A and B are shown apart, each in its own frame.
Chain A
Amino acid sequence: MTSYESVYPTSAKSSYVPGDLINIKFHVGIGKKLKKNSLRISGKVQASTAGVVLAAGTDIGLSIGAHGLIKNFIVKCSAVGELENILEYPRLVNMKYECTKVPNDLLSQSDCITELLAPDRYLYNGMLRIGSVPSTSFGSVLTAGLCWNSFSIKPVISLNTSAVDIPSNRLGYVEIQLCLSQPIDAFCGANVDGTTTFIITDLRIDYITVEDTEKDDKSPIILTGYNMDEMQLSSTNTTLVPIQPCLAQGLSITFGNIPALIQNNCLSVPLNDLQQVIWNINTVINPIEFVLDNVEDVMINYIKSMGGNLQHNNVSDTNYGIGLHFGSALDMAQNTISIQINLQNAPANPLRALVFYNKVLAI
């Protein structure tokens, strides 16, 4: 039988505020399977400016939505250990959505709507604020005020990437640690200030279980997750060397300061005068040099690295990152990768380079 389960945080509070650390632990149950791609985080959020309705022109990142409320994500399970540690989670979500969706999707798709995504700032602003609307229509009076939006996000984490339902013995106890974002990281708009904040209530993890009636064939279940490393881009000729020892099938890199990126609702700071990106994959057997010397190639490979669709995305020549999909999993402990980025002009200030490792996990 299919069951719809909900788990509240271990240290339950009536409401959660920016910066809160939240720990949620659950066991799927003996004789049950975690249904593939069924894990969600839901709750209600109320945003405000100085204790009253959110200032006009303020909103959560449009293609991040309620994901933006969570800054970091750590996923562990007792049978395997730590599955992933995603820092700057909203950035990852933005990259994922921009590579797989177009604005119209955000207007009418149920998955986007439950995640509070929006195609443009005007609509979004209305959603968070409601607004003052004296109406002549029968019974319809909208009054400005604080409002609650319920959300149900499907986090971009490894547990949602399995191609099959996951038996409980493959996971054991699952522990998910969240760190809520600071308002400056979650909201954008000209009027975001020190009084802009949010609270979350009814926070929980939802997932679906099904009965495990089959004999476990012991074959590994493959998941894909993300880890993040932070580096720096400061000159016309910078070489990034990602060194996290994991089994990676691709790397995706975004540049810039996070609040600024969210503020501008962009994937990455435009790399002005980008001349060349050279990927050196130094495998033991066959070293490969992969030279990308135009922006279009860089964009195409970036979209592919995020599992995106070349015909259906919102990436543009002013809104892209750098990435490469390796085609198969590469053991980063045995092989080294360096990414040489050549610019015409050095950035005015050093740029943060957030390197997301798309890693493969077997449980």
Chain B
Amino acid sequence: MYTQFVQTNMVFPVYMDTHKCEFKLPNEVIELSRLRLFNIGATVNVGNASYTTGGALNLIRNIQLYNDSQLISQVRYSDIWNYIQNLKNRNTTNISRNQLLYGDNMGWIYNQWPTEVNVFANIVAQHQNRLSPWGANAHQLTTDPKTTSLANVFLSHYFDFLNQAGTLDCTKLNLRLVIEWTTQPFAELLFNPAGGPASFTIIKPYLLCEVLSDPKEVKPEDVPLLWKEIVCTVVNVPVYPGYNPGAGSPVANLVQAQQVSVMLDSFRNQTIGKIYIVNTPSGTTVDGTPVANTLTGTNTCSYQMWGETLQLLVDGKKTFTGQNGLDLPARKTATLTDVLGTCNVFYGGNLPLSAGTWVTGGNVIGALDANAQNALYSGFAQNQTNYHSIGCFELNKFCERLQLDVSRGIGVYETDGAVPPMVNAWSSQLLPYSILLFAEVYKSCKILKSGVIV
């Protein structure tokens, strides 16, 4: 590609702050569509931290490609999207020097076992070396922009439109790239759970464009482009928690699963390829703590999702056999494996551990299932308090109507085993659990002088 006819241009942002960054692509030229974003990274206020799966690209929360003010394509929650994509990489790939220098992503599957004392902790500590022999050194965020880890990415990672286009005729187009940064102090997917920094500062990125010096050499064809857009939607599946009076008691008898049906209007009348579903139990212990402390004094509690099942109805037809559809954690991991190929899922991803998870033991029906349901779709990124879990399946169909049925129970655990007043307080609190869905939606467009018709 690097011939005399191609000039490589560095394009710096026309606007940059802690929330947003905007690029304008060169006008009146024809350029290759393999745009590449460099210097994605951040410095932290103190000490060192390391990225979780997805690496520095998790700093990008939303990314949009415009033609003037017309939105051509966007990926919302692109940090989570990127995380899913990076699951496909082996740890050995993610931590390799080549990947660090030239790869699209950084970050690796950090062994997610919690640090609290448990039977696995010491054992897993030995295995961490196997997982990331020098990962922590290679992928660290530091206080110095010169030493902190940086990533780069081809924009086609987000925009399949660019993959299909080959060249971009910017005599017709006025392209703008807008990035919205992750702004939370503790970015959900950003840092490994051991000692996340209090704040971070994003480094100014730049864009690499390859402009054709002799546009006559390659004249873009005016043919319709077909591409897959990543469409994201967030659905709320709130639940009233049930109550569990303490370790050793049957959960299933006390907490009934509650079903929520959601029509996915974003995907109406679309041809859909793969669907990725991400569980975001954003309530967990953060929300639970004040209530628990208020009501139980010195006692502690937590709550946990269990028994979640999922069914997807396409034009009224069930995608999964049976009323409950996708249920066991291993089956959920299996769908992920079958669609994406073998993914990086840390050992024990199907086990109940970590703060916020109760394990009651005894003859609890489906104890592991019931208690490990943050293994919902498996494949995790653990942050300070939460798990994200992922499932994937493919439809490859034109869908007029898409409906998601989710059934799940939320149980409350209290250390002293007392029934009231916890049960009353919790059972009246509707917990705002949500699910993110990403779908590959097939689109076509034509680039005209007057704009882009999608």
Which A residues are within 8 Å of any B CB, using their own CB?
A: 1-7, 37-38, 40, 42-44, 104, 106-114, 116, 118-120, 122-123, 126-127, 130-133, 135-152, 154, 202, 206, 208, 210
Q: Judging by beta carbons under 8 Å apart, are B319 and A109 in contact?
A: no
Q: What's the Cα separation between A122 and B289 when bound, in Å? A: 34
Q: List 19 A-B contacts (CB under 8 A).
A: A1-B317, A3-B319, A107-B127, A107-B130, A110-B345, A113-B349, A119-B347, A123-B123, A126-B120, A130-B359, A131-B119, A139-B302, A140-B116, A140-B302, A145-B361, A145-B364, A147-B367, A152-B331, A152-B334
Task: For the complex formed, measure the closest distance between the CB of B95 and the CB atoms of chain A, giving whole angstroms.
Answer: 12
Q: Judging by beta carbons under 8 Å apart, are B357 and A140 in contact?
A: yes
Task: For the complex formed, measure the closest distance between the CB of A160 and the CB atoms of chain B, giving whole angstroms.
Answer: 11
**Which of A43, A140, A206, A208 touches B356 (beta carbons < 8 Å)?**
A140
Q: Judging by beta carbons under 8 Å apart, are A123 and B355 in contact?
A: no
Q: Judging by beta carbons under 8 Å apart, are A145 and B337 in contact?
A: no
Q: What's the Cα separation between A152 and B377 when bound, in Å? A: 13
Q: Judging by beta carbons under 8 Å apart, are B285 and A108 in contact?
A: no
B205 at the binding interface (Cβ < 8 Å) = no
B102 at the binding interface (Cβ < 8 Å) = no
B225 at the binding interface (Cβ < 8 Å) = no
Q: Beyond A37-B338, A44-B366: 13 further Cβ-contacts under 8 Å? A: A4-B326, A4-B335, A113-B347, A127-B351, A130-B351, A135-B117, A139-B413, A140-B302, A143-B359, A148-B366, A150-B329, A150-B368, A202-B328
Q: Judging by beta carbons under 8 Å apart, are A141 and B342 in contact?
A: no
Complex contacts, A4 vs chain B, CB 8 Å: 319-321, 325-326, 335, 393
**Which of A40, A114, A138 touches B302 (beta carbons < 8 Å)?**
A138
Q: Judging by beta carbons under 8 Å apart, are A144 and B337 in contact?
A: no
**Which of B328, B333, B342, B345 touches A44 (beta carbons < 8 Å)?**
B328
Task: For the complex formed, measure the closest distance between the CB of A31 and the CB atoms of chain B, giving whole angstroms.
Answer: 14
Main secondary structure of the interface of A (DSSP, over half): mixed
Complex contacts, A138 vs chain B, CB 8 Å: 285, 289, 300, 302, 355-356
Task: For the complex formed, measure the closest distance between the CB of A327 and the CB atoms of chain B, giving whole angstroms.
Answer: 28
Complex contacts, B393 vs chain A, CB 8 Å: 2, 4
Task: For the complex formed, measure the closest distance between the CB of A161 and the CB atoms of chain B, giving whole angstroms.
Answer: 15
Q: Which residue of A lies closest to B289 (CB)?
A: A138
Q: Which residue of A lies closest to B302 (CB)?
A: A139
Q: What's the Cα separation between A126 and B359 when bound, in Å? A: 14
Task: For the complex formed, measure the closest distance between the CB of A361 and the CB atoms of chain B, giving whole angstroms.
Answer: 23
Q: Judging by beta carbons under 8 Å apart, are B117 and A108 in contact?
A: no
Complex contacts, B334 vs chain A, CB 8 Å: 40, 42, 114, 152, 154, 206
Complex contacts, B342 vs chain A, CB 8 Å: 109-112
Q: Judging by beta carbons under 8 Å apart, are A137 and B330 in contact?
A: no
CB < 8 Å A-B pair total:
208
- Interface window among B32-40, B168-176, B227-235, B394-402: B394-402
Q: Judging by beta carbons under 8 Å apart, are A123 and B348 in contact?
A: yes
Q: What's the Cα separation between A143 and B337 when bound, in Å? A: 31
Q: Judging by beta carbons under 8 Å apart, are A42 and B328 in contact?
A: yes
Q: Judging by beta carbons under 8 Å apart, are B359 and A142 in contact?
A: yes
| A-contact 0/1 string along B115-132, CB 8 Å cutoff | 011111001100100110
Q: Which residue of B lies closest to A109 (CB)?
A: B342
Q: Which residue of A lies closest to B322 (CB)?
A: A6
Interface centre among A37, A112, A144, A145 (most CB of B within 10 A): A145
Contacts A38-B338, A143-B359, A145-B361; A108 near B131 (Cβ below 8 A): yes
Task: For the complex formed, measure the closest distance between the CB of A62 and the CB atoms of chain B, giving whole angstroms.
Answer: 12
- Give residues 346-382 of B contacting A (CB, 8 Å): 346-364, 366-369, 378-379
Interface centre among A107, A113, A202, A206 (most CB of B within 10 A): A113
B103 at the binding interface (Cβ < 8 Å) = no
Q: What's the Cα separation between A127 and B116 when bound, in Å? A: 17
Q: Judging by beta carbons under 8 Å apart, are A141 and B285 in contact?
A: no
Q: Judging by beta carbons under 8 Å apart, are B362 and A141 in contact?
A: no
Q: What's the Cα separation between A133 and B119 when bound, in Å? A: 7
B215 at the binding interface (Cβ < 8 Å) = no
For chain B, give the interface size range. Answer: 35 or more
Q: Judging by beta carbons under 8 Å apart, are B119 and A110 in contact?
A: no
B177 at the binding interface (Cβ < 8 Å) = no
Q: Judging by beta carbons under 8 Å apart, are B347 and A136 in contact?
A: no
**Which of B321, B344, B367 touches A145 (beta carbons < 8 Å)?**
B367
Q: What's the Cα separation between A135 and B356 when bound, in Å? A: 12
Q: Judging by beta carbons under 8 Å apart, are A110 and B379 in contact?
A: yes
Q: What's the Cα separation between A2 and B440 when bound, in Å? A: 14
Complex contacts, B396 vs chain A, CB 8 Å: 1-2, 210
Q: Judging by beta carbons under 8 Å apart, are A149 and B350 in contact?
A: yes
Q: Which residue of B lies closest to A43 (CB)?
A: B328
Q: Judging by beta carbons under 8 Å apart, are B119 and A108 in contact?
A: no
Q: Judging by beta carbons under 8 Å apart, are A150 and B330 in contact?
A: yes
Q: What's the Cα separation between A154 and B366 when bound, in Å? A: 22
Q: Which residue of A lies closest to B344 (CB)?
A: A108
Q: What's the Cα separation between A328 and B335 when bound, in Å? A: 34
Task: For the complex formed, measure the closest distance between the CB of A322 and the CB atoms of chain B, giving whole angstroms.
Answer: 29
**Which of B127, B329, B394 touches A2 (beta carbons < 8 Å)?**
B394
Closest CB pairs A-B (n = 9): A139-B302, A145-B361, A143-B361, A150-B328, A152-B334, A1-B397, A150-B330, A131-B119, A152-B330
| A-contact 0/1 string along B246-270, CB 8 Å cutoff | 0110000000000000000000000
B415 at the binding interface (Cβ < 8 Å) = yes
Task: For the complex formed, measure the closest distance between the CB of B291 and the CB atoms of chain A, giving whole angstroms.
Answer: 12
Contacts A111-B342, A140-B114; A206 near B348 (Cβ below 8 A): no
Q: Judging by beta carbons under 8 Å apart, are B123 and A122 in contact?
A: yes
B86 at the binding interface (Cβ < 8 Å) = no
Q: Which residue of A lies closest to B375 (CB)?
A: A150
Contacts A2-B396, A208-B338; A123 near B328 (Cβ below 8 A): no
Task: For the complex formed, measure the closest distance between the CB of B100 and the CB atoms of chain A, giving whole angstroms.
Answer: 19
Q: Judging by beta carbons under 8 Å apart, are B346 and A108 in contact?
A: yes
B187 at the binding interface (Cβ < 8 Å) = no
Q: Judging by beta carbons under 8 Å apart, are A108 and B109 in contact?
A: yes
Complex contacts, B356 vs chain A, CB 8 Å: 138-140
Q: Which residue of A lies closest to B119 (CB)?
A: A131
Task: For the complex formed, measure the closest distance between the CB of B201 and the CB atoms of chain A, giving whole angstroms.
Answer: 31
Complex contacts, A151 vs chain B, CB 8 Å: 330
Complex contacts, A147 vs chain B, CB 8 Å: 361, 367-368
Q: What's the Cα separation between A11 and B195 when bound, in Å? A: 53
Q: Judging by beta carbons under 8 Å apart, are A114 and B357 in contact?
A: no
Task: For the complex formed, measure the closest distance between the CB of A45 and the CB atoms of chain B, giving whole angstroms.
Answer: 10
| A-contact 0/1 string along B133-175, CB 8 Å cutoff | 0000000000000000000000000000000000000000000
Q: Which residue of B lies closest to A4 (CB)?
A: B320
Q: What's the Cα separation between A137 and B353 when bound, in Å? A: 11
B301 at the binding interface (Cβ < 8 Å) = yes
Q: What's the Cα separation between A138 and B293 when bound, in Å? A: 11
Q: Judging by beta carbons under 8 Å apart, are B300 and A139 in contact?
A: yes
Q: Judging by beta carbons under 8 Å apart, are A113 and B350 in contact?
A: yes
Q: What's the Cα separation between A2 and B91 when bound, in Å? A: 31
Contacts A1-B395, A150-B329; A141 near B130 (Cβ below 8 A): no
B179 at the binding interface (Cβ < 8 Å) = no
B314 at the binding interface (Cβ < 8 Å) = yes
